[in-house]
A and B are shown apart, each in its own frame.
Chain A
Amino acid sequence: MDFKFSTEEEAFRREVKGWLKEAIPPRWRELPTGFWQETEESWKISRQFQKNLGMKGWLAPAYPAEYGGAGLGHIKRLILAEELTYHDAPVSIETEITVNWVGMALQHFGSEQQKQDFIPRIAKGDIIFCLGYSEPNAGSDLASLQTRAVEQGDNYVINGQKIWCSYAHYADYCWLGAVTDPDLPKHRNMSMFVVDMKNPGITIRPLINVIGCHSFNEVFFDDVRTPKDSLVGVKNNGWFQLAMALDFERSGVQTAAANKLLLDHMVNYAKTNKRGGKLLSKDPILRNLMAEMAIEIEVARMLCYRIAWIYSKGGHSNYESSQAMIFGSELLRRISDAGMRVLGQYGQLAFGSHRAVERAMMFRSYLASLSIGVGGGTNEIQRNIIAMRGLGLPRK
């Protein structure tokens, strides 16, 4: 065992940190940034930033160089992801979706033509995907999706409704799951498509989230024609591909880094603010609370590091991704709650309010963390995965 980073890895971390100092535009530091909190202005900044990242090969660092990636190893990717999040760089869920979900799946299942067409553009930050998975009646029970894709000449004709499509209003393409053979049983009836969002027949309706931002959408498909070759992989094999995609490396280290950012904020606040005439950092209850949070962050980091380590040894994570995801995401809730306790009355002040603290970072995280454990598979579903896949408990 060796918990140290190598000299080379440490040097890489310094390089990333150094680059970030210059690369993040000052205006970004004045905006209410964070996941689910994008505005027109912040979106523009992050798109440009992602292109800059792409030029360094750091937007899709895992991709081979021929596709525009940096071909970085697992540990360096972990370091990069950690530093990007910890420095609140303009990358967020859209990058995760496009690069790590869609791009990875395309590399595994896409045709050569599809790879040539999409992967370099993804790696350069030129295109953004939204996910077309959930439907009003297919949430945790994704297998119940009803959107249909019917073959007609050279096309598939798509009809149906998707929901919770993050950034669909910005997206160039939709990574869509649709039923291609309704006569087959669930889990064997669905195929994956890349659908151009400029297609006629697509209607996007915004859903405003609790933070008051437009991040989600309902997307309606009304006789949308998409060429046959936009089907990815094997017809009716979508579920298998989806299940395989769960095995793609996903360390979740971003959440751990986000947690650290929040902890630093509350520690700093406690060291510089008084309540009842006493520095908050001298309050034994709050000290204890912050110490607990620091310990939990360390545990969360180790759970994430373990995943990168497993992959660096050529292994695959099984339940470990679910585990890191649950721990890190629930920790984000606990940290936000702890931060609100430390900030006291000031915690409730919104961005833009008179006397708000640090761009109301804690406030926004407190609200945003409500989505935690809901999106991308609820924590109940993740726990099922840990119990069944990880511990071998029977389903029934």
Chain B
Amino acid sequence: MDLGLNEEQEMLKKSAREFLSKECPKKLVRELDESDSGLSRELWKKMAELGWIGLPFPEKYGGNGGTLLDLIVLLDEMGYNIVPGPFFSTVVLAGFTLLQAGSEEQKQTYLTKICSGDMIMTFAITELDGTYLPESIETMAEAKGEQYILKGTKLFVPDANIADFLLVAARTGKSTNPADAISIFLVDAKSAGVKVTLLKTLGRDKLCEVVFENVKIPSKNLVGKLNGGWPVIRSILRKATVAKCAEMVGGAQASLDMAVSYAKERVQFGRPIGSFQAIQHYCANMVTDVDGSRFITYKAAWTESEGLPADMEVSMAKAWTSEAYKRVAVLAHQIFGAIGFTMDHDMHLYFRRAKAGELAYGDADFHREIVAAQLGL
């Protein structure tokens, strides 16, 4: 057993905390939240230079050769500080998909550009009903000579508004099992017929509607096997789920830290409010939620990172963390009182992300059902 981070991970954590607090202050977070792009090219370039974007990818593609667990450590810190931008979409959704299912040529072409910070990519999976189930994918890709013709509407796609390329999950045939006829395509965002509409969201993350109107895709842009897309998507969703948990754990930790330090400073009735039992018990509940989320997330991340079966672990982590982060953020708001209800205060930045994180890759209800199935129910 070794329940601690290794030396490099501790270093990464520390340097990420320092770098982000300096290079991604809350002022920038707010600007990006309120902007349409959500992207700071300057920050993106710096993160590429630090090797963060290529962190979990092999060196031969310009990556850093790290593990999923290393990435989790970084995402934990990114959640702590809040880092707007397409890091998650590009690295977790797109990067891992290319790494896992892409041809050598695709990896050389696209993954290399991702690692160097020269390409932003996302993965359009969900459609109108917003779920992560194979039966919900209705977008069609029809083979026509050396091309596929893509038709359909994707919804809640992160960062499609700034992506250079999109991975798209589409139906490529008829099948009794809806999971059996799904394929993944690389689509140039500039292709004719791609229409992206930015949605305004609670999390102020950049979720989009993407409509494909007879978009022509060259056959070589098929990623992985024809009709073999769903197992890849499942595996990517598992990684994305635990990665999202890591971000949420970081955010919950920051909410706790902020609230505790405020409880120590704010004086009412002649004493710090943190000396009142009601507030102390809130804090005790919060730290228990934060640590519980952290341990269950790291266990899931480690399991997935080791290549062990991780469906149950990952769903446990997401079901728990989704609700725990929200509980922590609400209690933190309660401790801040009115000041936390203002736009100028940082707390709502976390409260918003707690909800956005909960919705991403399946909420607690969704994942509890996966756990139940895994338990043999």
Given contacts A275-B129, A276-B135, A370-B333, contact A348 B338 (CB under 8 A): no
- With both chains docked as a complex, state the minimum distance between the C-beta of A135 and any C-beta of chain B, in angstroms: 11
Q: Which residues of A have CB within 8 Å of B333? A: 370, 374
Asked whether, in the complex, the Cβ of A374 is within 8 Å of the Cβ of B330, the reply is no
Q: Does B299 contact A (CB under 8 A)?
A: no
Other-chain residue from B198, B269, B348 in contact with A141 (beta carbon distance below 8 A): B269
Asked whether, in the complex, the Cβ of B129 is within 8 Å of the Cβ of A274, the reply is yes
Of chain A, the residue at the smallest CB distance from B338 is A164
Other-chain residue from B136, B273, B278, B341 in contact with A374 (beta carbon distance below 8 A): B341
Query: Within the assembled complex, what's the spacing in Å between the Cα atoms of A371 and B340?
Result: 9
Asked whether, in the complex, the Cβ of A366 is within 8 Å of the Cβ of B355, the reply is yes
Given contacts A141-B269, A285-B365, A355-B199, contact A216 B359 (CB under 8 A): no
Q: Does B240 contact A (CB under 8 A)?
A: no
Asked whether, in the complex, the Cβ of B343 is within 8 Å of the Cβ of A341, the reply is no
Which residues of A333-352 are within 8 A (CB) of B?
Answer: 333, 337, 340-341, 344-352
Asked whether, in the complex, the Cβ of B337 is within 8 Å of the Cβ of A378, the reply is yes
Of chain A, the residue at the smallest CB distance from B273 is A140
Residue interface mask B331-358, A partner, CB < 8 A = 1: 0011001101111100010010001100
Given contacts A276-B135, A347-B359, contact A355 B130 (CB under 8 A): no
Q: Which residues of B have CB within 8 Å of A341? A: 363, 365
Asked whether, in the complex, the Cβ of B200 is within 8 Å of the Cβ of A349, the reply is yes
Centre residue among A210, A212, A340, A344 by max chain B CB count within 10 A: A210
Q: Does A204 contact B (CB under 8 A)?
A: no
Asked whether, in the complex, the Cβ of A370 is within 8 Å of the Cβ of B202, the reply is no
Q: Does A207 contact B (CB under 8 A)?
A: yes
Of chain A, the residue at the smallest CB distance from B347 is A210
Query: Within the assembled complex, what's the spacing in Å between the Cα atoms of A383 and B198?
Result: 44
Which residues of A129-150 are within 8 A (CB) of B?
Answer: 134, 137, 139-141, 144
Other-chain residue from B135, B201, B273 in contact with A349 (beta carbon distance below 8 A): B201
How many residues on chain B are close to A (CB under 8 Å)? 44
Of chain B, the residue at the smallest CB distance from A207 is B342
Asked whether, in the complex, the Cβ of B202 is within 8 Å of the Cβ of A348, the reply is yes
Q: Does B88 contact A (CB under 8 A)?
A: no
Query: Within the assembled complex, what's the spacing in Å between the Cα atoms of A6 and B129?
Result: 46
Of chain A, the residue at the smallest CB distance from B342 is A207
Query: Within the assembled complex, what's the spacing in Å between the Cα atoms of A277 and B137?
Result: 11
- With both chains docked as a complex, state the minimum distance between the C-beta of B268 and any C-beta of chain A, in angstroms: 4
Q: Which residues of B have CB within 8 Å of A212? A: 343
Asked whether, in the complex, the Cβ of B338 is within 8 Å of the Cβ of A345, the reply is no
- With both chains docked as a complex, state the minimum distance between the C-beta of B188 and any C-beta of chain A, in angstroms: 23
Given contacts A208-B344, A333-B330, A375-B338, contact A352 B200 (CB under 8 A): yes
Which residues of B192-207 are within 8 A (CB) of A?
Answer: 197-203, 207
Asked whether, in the complex, the Cβ of B343 is within 8 Å of the Cβ of A208, the reply is yes
Q: Which residues of A have CB within 8 Å of B338? A: 134, 139, 163-164, 216, 371, 374-375
Of chain B, the residue at the smallest CB distance from A289 is B365
User: Contact residues of A with B, CB < 8 Å?
Assistant: 134, 137, 139-141, 144, 163-164, 207-210, 212, 216, 273-277, 285-286, 333, 337, 340-341, 344-356, 363, 366-367, 370-371, 373-375, 378-380, 383
Question: Given A209-B342, A216-B341, A371-B338, 13 more contacts at CB 8 Å?
Answer: A140-B269, A207-B344, A210-B343, A274-B129, A276-B131, A348-B359, A349-B202, A351-B200, A353-B200, A370-B340, A374-B333, A374-B334, A374-B338
Ordered nearest first, which 8 A-B pairs have the shortest CB separation?
A: A345-B130, A353-B200, A141-B268, A350-B200, A208-B343, A210-B348, A348-B202, A141-B269
User: Contact residues of B with A, CB < 8 Å?
Assistant: 126, 129-131, 133, 135-136, 155-156, 197-203, 207, 209, 267-270, 273, 276, 278-279, 326, 330, 333-334, 337-338, 340-344, 348, 351, 355-356, 359, 363, 365
